[in-house]
Amino acid sequence: MVFGYALIPTALKVLKMKASGRLLSLLKSVVTMDARSLQQAFGIDSTLRFETHPSGLAQGIVKTSECEASFFLHGAHIAHWQPAHTDSPVLFMSQKSYFEPGKPIRGGIPICFPWFSAHPTDSSLPAHGLARQASWELMKTQQNNHVVSAVFELSIDSFDLRYTVDFGSTLQIALNIVNCDSQARDCEVALHTYFDIGAIEQVSVEGLEELPYLDQLTKLKCPAEGTAIRFERETDRIYQGTADEILLHDGQRSRRIAIEANHARSTVVWNPWIEKSKRMPDFGDDEYLRMCCIETANIRENRIQLEPRATTTIAVRYAVAT
């Protein structure tokens, strides 16, 4: 087992910015460790190395006999994961994504927290919360057999977050949330996973057939459909209830991605389709054809409620069969 630890603490300072007369916490953080410093503190031989992305952001590159992967400290964002037994990446990344402070990365696995979608009372605040636009602190890396693990931390909006990622033949992630406030708080969380697929018309999603859902396009609550999900138009659904296992069938690539969530009572299924794709500046017009999102979440009526100093963890495991 090989470990990497920080030689000096990373300085994370909460920046206060005024938006529409209100204080907006933490869209940008001051990070003292660049790729070179991260390599010295956390690099693991040729298995985990840190480089400067063309955008200037620091990124970690994982390469083992079991998988290839990459991540950013910006948003604690997992950008790539491909097990050795597959021919294509599992995670989709938009070719038009922004890679800059104060903006989310489009694709991979963004962390939506502490709210999902638009802020419920303040439209000036960013969609999907603050965590995906913040710079996280890398606390530890280690290698155990063929699995590389990374642990990130962030303090934001009176919550302490600890994010653990295990890169191997499977991808396992867990987000621990602590309420540091003196009062009870509620929050929403979604691991907004973008899957890379061969062709949207050959994709189906099983495992949510018996759950009711909210159609976010019509705002209608719909009963369980009893059939697998297929994509034929813009899709934006919030399924409420626990799904033991969700299977994403990618017909063109003859592979199946299994999604096993823990402590998640919501699942979001999304594809922007034609018109919305054209409206998004950080998304290609035709990229909807080779992606879909299946998001492990606790949102809306299943939002998390935490007493002072209480904690909870949401986790998910991804595995690919060909």
- Residue % of the chain over a pLDDT of 90: 89
pLDDT at 5 over 90: no
Mean pLDDT of 46-51: 97
Confidence bin at 33 (pLDDT 50/70/90):
confident
Average pLDDT over residues 156-165: 98
Could you tell me which of 106, 167, 62, 136 has the C-alpha nearest to residue 293? 106
For the stretch 110-145, pLDDT in tens is 999 999 999 999 999 999 999 999 999 999 999 999
Residue 179 falls within a domain, yes or no? yes
Contacts of 50 (CB under 8 A, 6+ apart): 35, 36, 38, 39, 42, 43, 58, 59, 60, 61
**Mean pLDDT value across residues 275-283:** 98
Strand partners, 81: 69
Residue 87 lies in a domain: yes
Is 146 domain-assigned? Answer: yes
Residue 14, Ramachandran bin (φ over 0: left; ψ between -120 and 50: alpha; else beta): beta
In a domain, 74, yes or no: yes
Tens-place pLDDT, residues 72-95:
999 999 999 999 999 999 999 999
Of 266, 49, 293, the C-alpha closest to 193 is 293
Cα dihedral sign for 55, 56, 59, 63? Answer: positive
Q: What is the pLDDT of residue 21?
A: 33
What total number of domains does the chain contain? Answer: 1
Mean pLDDT of 208-220: 98
Query: What was the pLDDT predicted at 64?
Result: 98
Left if phi > 0, otherwise alpha if psi is -120 to 50, otherwise beta: which for 139?
alpha
Pick from 9-18, 70-79, 114-123, 246-255: least confident: 9-18
Q: Would you say residue 192 lies in a domain?
A: yes
Higher pLDDT, residue 21 or 290:
290
**Is residue 10 included in any domain, yes or no?**
no
Mean pLDDT (the chain, rounded): 92
Residue 119: CATH number of its domain: 2.70.98.10
Q: Cα–Cα distances in Å, from 144 out to 45, 166, 167, 241, 290?
A: 13, 10, 10, 34, 33
* 217 lies in some domain: yes
CB-based contact 189:298 (threshold 8 Å): yes
Q: How confident is the model at residue 4 (pLDDT cuts 50, 70, 90)?
A: low
Boundaries of domain holding 33 = 16-321
Residue 118 lies in a domain: yes
Lowest mean pLDDT among 15-29, 80-94, 250-264: 15-29
pLDDT at 1: 62
62 alpha carbon, distance to own chain's centre: 17
pLDDT score of 16: 33
User: Mean pLDDT, to the nearest integer, of 277-286?
Assistant: 98
